[in-house]
Amino acid sequence: MRARNNNSSERLTEALAAASPDLLRYFQRRLPIDDAADGLAELMLAAWRRVDSTPPGAEQCRMWLFGIARHVVTNAARSERRRWTLTERFREVLRTSPTEGRPADDGADVRDAIGRLTPAQAELVRLIHWDGFAITEAAQILSISPSTARTRYQRARADLKTALSDLTPEVTGHLPMTVVGTSAGDPSCTTAPSIPHRTIRPADVILPPSQRIDISAYPV
């Protein structure tokens, strides 16, 4: 038995407080708009479950959290997104909150070109250009060596240069334009109603009524 370590809890609390805004943006850049809150919830739950593994040092904690975030996104691609009850209100807040960045259609060709890279190359490019990580930091998040990251990044750039050869850059040499507006998320997300079901085994095994199965999050 390992009790939750106070120092670990404090480190994780501080790390999540500092990194949550960037982690939310990370999920919003990779998941459908309604899934970002759930992705962040999954990350936080996973982090709290491993609280005793929280690395020492703020920067190491931050890298650790983004490493977990990467796994959440990877898993999301393989299975249906879970809807956490505790994110219901958060999803609604995100739907009605202003957004920032280039207009949604802007950069679509580039995003498509990134999407045609290998998954490993694409994520490296996203970490560097969308999330602002240095190549060595991105390497750490992806659990690869810096030299591998550099090689992979150069190949990705070469592929992107070819893929984007028909695109004329509209502006160069200045900071990205910021447009503030309201997102147009679909508020009609639904969750199938659930019916609790208990399975018991013979003899003396009777589950208390409160221990029901909430299947609303099952990937079925």
Partner 1 sequence: MGPTSDDLDGLLDRSAPRTTVMTDSVADELTQLRVATSVETARVTARRPWRRPVFAGLASVLLLGGAATATAAVTNSWVPWAQTPVASMAYTLPSGVECEERIGNIRGQDPAAVEAVKNFYRTTDIESLLTKEKIASTIEWIRQDSNIAVNADGSTEPAGYGTVHYNADEEYQRAVTMIVTAAVSAELANQGIDGADSNLSSDGQSFCPGASW
Per CB under 8 A, contacts with partner 1 among 102-161 are 102-104, 106-107, 110-111, 114, 125, 128-130, 157, 160-161
**140: number of Cβ within 10 Å:** 21
Of residues 57 and 176, the one with the C-beta less far from partner 1: 176
Residue 141 tokens read as 């998040």
Of residues 82 and 140, the one with the C-beta less far from partner 1: 82
Site for partner 1 in 174-213 (CB under 8 A): 176-177, 179-180, 183, 190, 192-205, 207, 211-213
Stretch that binds partner 1, among 16-24, 62-70, 116-124, 142-150 (CB under 8 A): 16-24
Q: Are 135 and 150 in contact (CB under 8 A)?
A: yes
Site string for partner 1, 46-75 (x = CB under 8 A): -xxx-x-----------------------x
- Least separation in angstroms between residue 33's CB and partner 1 is 9
122/127 Cα distance (integer angstroms): 9
Q: DSSP code of 182?
A: E
- Least separation in angstroms between residue 144's CB and partner 1 is 19
Of residues 56 and 202, the one with the C-beta less far from partner 1: 202
Stretch (H or E) spanning 12: helix 6-28
Stretch that binds partner 1, among 59-67, 83-91, 135-143, 144-152 (CB under 8 A): 83-91
Stretch that binds partner 1, among 35-43, 58-66, 134-142, 144-152 (CB under 8 A): 35-43
108/105 Cα distance (integer angstroms): 5
Q: Which residues pair with 181 in a beta bridge?
A: 99
What torsion, rounded to 10 degrees, do the Cα atoms 84, 90, 91, 95 define? Answer: 180
55/175 Cα distance (integer angstroms): 34
φ and ψ of 182, to 5 deg: -105, 135
- Least separation in angstroms between residue 158's CB and partner 1 is 9
How many residues are listed for the chain in this entry?
A: 220
Stretch that binds partner 1, among 56-64, 86-94, 135-143, 144-152 (CB under 8 A): 86-94
145/126 Cα distance (integer angstroms): 17
State the number of binding residues for partner 1 (CB under 8 A). Answer: 92
